[in-house]
Amino acid sequence: MPPKPFLLFCFLLWGCRPAFSQLSPRTASYDIQVRLDTAEKKLYGRQALHWANPSADTVRELQYHLYLNAFRNSESTFMREAGNFGFMIDAMRENCGWGWTEVQRITDGDGNRLAMEYIAPDDGNPADRTVLRVPLARPVLPGGTIRAELEWTSQIPRAAARTGYNQDYYFLAQWFPKVGVYEPAGMRFAQAGQWNCHQYHAEGEYYSDFGVYNVAITLPAGFTVGASGVLQGVEEQGGEKTWAFRAEDVIDFTWAASPHFKEIKETHNGVQLRLLAYPYHEHLAERYFRVIKFAMDFCGSRFGPYPYPGLTIVDPPLHGMFSSAMEYPTLISTANLCFLPASVRTSELLLAHEFVHQYFMQMVASNEQEEPWLDEGITNYYEARIMDELFGPQSSTVDWLGFRMGNLESNRGEFFGLDNPQIADYGRFSWQFPEGSGHAISYSKTTLWLRTLEGLLGTEALDEVMGAYFRRWKFRHPCGQDFIDVVNEEVAKKFGNRFGENMDWFFGQVLYSTELCDYAVASIANTPVAPPAGIFEETEDCVRPEGKGEPRFRASVIVHRLEGLYFPVEVRITFEDGQTITEQWDGKARSREFVYEGRGRAVAAEIDPERRICLDKNFINNSRAVAPQKTGVRKYFLQFLFWMQNAMQGLSMLV
């Protein structure tokens, strides 16, 4: 399909614009022309990849992701792992809505037709066709470039996970043959130069090089298209429209189309926000824009301004829910059911999350398949911060009919709610987490230990550390150790050796062990102390206890570390006169006793009273009082009583 003159004009015009600083290395750039056949549900594509060898190696092959082949049949690696997508996959099976990509032809810049073969580097699954190996006729020399042209056809899967079509709604993610990442020796975990091009798995998606995408999408004229990047122009011809987009310094390109989209635009900080929603969701625009603007300001003040000219938000219809809650460069999707009350803030939560991904995933382009915590965990942590700051820490997610739940709280709930929170450490790829524990560990546990780190360092200091990590690794590919290195450097700069030589003790525990954390006040004892009596100086002088003065007490508070993890914690002891002492405890010993004489009786003790150690699995045993605490018991007892009375009265209406 030859490029249309209009689009050529657009691209040329773009080339003549004032120079816009290049943000990323632009290793893999694409020119793509694609036509959507809405009758056949097919894509006909033609693309040119401009790939620059970032290494000192001579590269003799390319490796492409053919993601849509994950939906080719039930035996692909994705489908074998896809338990979490149950009902979507069921629907695809029932409707025979399988999808695939076939590359008809691939040539290099010299016009050589290149051979192709499917490989399965992760599991050797012969039925998996999601990675295509292309030996080159002419190797790419160190620092050299190659232009590879492909012609391909894809059958769009019906309502598959994250991508596909349903009715006349199309969400095209992971839709074109995308080259893997060539990692030179020393980059991340690479011992020698290698392609990092995993098969498509049910868990974990992103790892790509930065580049510029010029994409022209042709489809029936009635459709509205939302896509990564900036719309360059729309040309109509013969009942079809071609939408031209350009996205710079991004790692992927995604688009959505529907004839029912309503477009609502706003601008914030010079960024054009474009919401594409179905008509019955238009009224939600204010809620969506509110949280996006807040998140943009929040991230902007910590990491730097959002550097792209636009952000597109897709609000899928119910039958397009397979594409909800996803993040792509400059395009995110949310989810909402319009009969839900506004105080059930799942949409806001998703939007905050997906927006933060623009920083951690899109700009700091870590490998989600190999280290999912590095983008999902950090993103989830900042999602919680944004939500709790915007809507209040104990009601940010739900505040409805008396039921309240904050975002951070929900993360504690998810992680500790696992049957076995110690089921896996982080040392595994995203698809290797057992029993569906990946989400709770990668997202929620990471949020909890980042909150714990925040508790130790302070919010401002942690934000500065994260800002430093972002600035150092934006538009690059860090691994977990790179993150740890930044934390170590920044903490040393700010705190000297207050937390030890470095923070490896922290990461060793939270990342590389499966231990849990639980501190408890074991006992409070107040023993009367008899005044001194006996022979002290002269043997003739016997000191006798003086009469009945003010009794003295030896107050003893014993605290325990019940689980494996340790963190420095505060222990606050309250005495009968209302005075408090806050002790600093390194938290290492299994047991520690604090003893006070002459201060009166200790009446209560509390470990970590500010709840800085969010990884502590049980806050209830963190404190103990000598006298029974009745207020809370009474409150919950009375609530239970009231519920029982109502239940009984409700039941009596059946008589």
Q: Name the 3-class secondary structure at 228.
A: coil
Cα–Cα distances (Å) from 608 to 502, 565, 586, 587, in that order, read 22, 14, 12, 10
- Least Å distance, CB 605 to other proteins, is 9
- Is 413 a binding residue for other proteins by CB under 8 A? The answer is yes
Least distance from other proteins to the Cβ atom of residue 633, Å: 5
Pair of tokens at residue 590: 């299994």
Question: Which residue blocks in 496-628 are alpha helix, DSSP H?
Answer: 504-510
Cβ of residue 317: shortest distance to other proteins, in angstroms? 6
Contacts to other proteins from residues 375-404, by CB under 8 A: 394, 402-404
Interface with other proteins, residue 637, by CB under 8 A: yes
Identify which of 233, 170, 174 has the alpha carbon closest to the alpha carbon of residue 199: 174
Sole binder of other proteins in the list 606, 612, 613, 615 (CB under 8 A): 606
Residue 318: both structure tokens together: 């119910």
Helix 285-303 to helix 378-391 angle (10° resolution) is 120
Stretch that binds other proteins, among 49-57, 180-188, 331-339, 460-468 (CB under 8 A): 331-339
**649 lies in the binding site for other proteins (CB under 8 A):** yes
Q: For residues 36 and 160, which CB has a smaller minimum distance to other proteins in the complex?
A: 160
Residue with tokens 């509110």: 290
Our finding on whether 221 is near other proteins (CB under 8 A) is no
Q: Contact, 609 vs 570, CB < 8 A? A: yes
Residues 572 and 580: beta-carbon distance below 8 Å:
yes
Report how far apart, in Å, the C-alpha atoms of 14 and of each of 20, 23, 50, 60, 98 are: 10, 17, 18, 33, 38
Task: Rule CB under 8 A: say whether 594 interacts with other proteins.
Answer: no
Which of 412, 445, 592, 601 is the binder for other proteins (CB under 8 A)? 412
Taking the complex as a whole, the smallest distance from the CB of residue 366 to other proteins amounts, in Å, to 30
Among 337, 342, 535, 543, binds other proteins (CB under 8 A): 337
| Helix runs in 44-112, H state only | 77-81, 86-94
Site string for other proteins, 147-186 (x = CB under 8 A): ------------x------xx-------------------
Check residue 621 for interaction with other proteins (CB under 8 A): yes
Residue selected from 31, 108, 315, 409 as contacting other proteins according to rule CB under 8 A? 409
633 touches other proteins (CB under 8 A): yes
Main-chain dihedrals φ then ψ at residue 178, nearest 5 degrees = -120, 130
Residues 114-143 that bind other proteins (CB under 8 A): none
Measured in degrees and rounded to the nearest 5, phi and psi for residue 377 equal -65, -50
| Nearer of residues 97 and 438 to other proteins, judged by Cβ | 97
For other proteins, what does the binding mask look like between residues 302 and 321, x meaning CB under 8 A?
A: ---------------xxx-x
Q: Which is nearer to other proteins, 511 or 521 (CB)?
A: 521
Nearer to other proteins, 161 or 251 (CB): 161
Type of residue at 605: A
Q: Which residues of 94-107 are buried (b: 16+ CB within 10 A; e: fewer)?
A: eeebbbbbebeebb
What mask, x for binding other proteins by CB under 8 A, covers residues 414 to 433? Answer: --xx----------------
Q: Tell whether residue 344 is a contact of other proteins (CB under 8 A).
A: no
Count of residues of this chain found to bind other proteins when the rule CB under 8 A is applied: 63
Q: Judge contact between 226 and 302, C-beta under 8 A.
A: no
* CA 462 vs CA 146, 160, 246, 303, 453: distances in Å: 42, 39, 35, 12, 7
CA distance 222 to 201: 34
**Residue (342 or 641) nearer to other proteins, CB:** 641
Question: Rounded distance, CA 347 to CA 342, Å?
Answer: 9
Taking the least distance from each CB to other proteins, the nearer of 357 and 445 is 445
Q: Are 54 and 193 in contact (CB under 8 A)?
A: no
Is residue 520 classed as helix, strand or coil in its secondary structure?
strand
Residue 601 sits in the site that holds other proteins (CB under 8 A): no
Applying CB under 8 A, does 191 fall inside the site for other proteins?
Answer: no
| Encoded amino acid at 384, one letter | A
The token duo for 90 is 């069921």
Q: Which is nearer to other proteins, 530 or 651 (CB)?
A: 651
Give the residue, chosen from 56, 338, 533, 589, that forms a contact with other proteins under the rule CB under 8 A: 338
Would you count residue 631 as binding other proteins (CB under 8 A)? yes
Q: How far is the CB of 85 from other proteins (least distance, A)?
A: 13
β-bridge mates for residue 165, sequence order: 158, 170
Could you tell me the smallest distance in angstroms from the CB atom of residue 393 to other proteins?
Answer: 10
Helix (H) or strand (E) holding 493: helix 480-495
Looking only at residues 71 through 100 of this chain, which bind other proteins when binding is defined by CB under 8 A? 91
- Span 243-302, contacts to other proteins by CB under 8 A: 278, 280
Strand partners, 240: 220, 237
Give residues in contact with other proteins (CB under 8 A).
Answer: 91, 159, 166-167, 278, 280, 317-319, 321-322, 337-339, 394, 402-406, 409-410, 412-413, 416-417, 604, 606, 617-625, 628-642, 644-649, 651-655
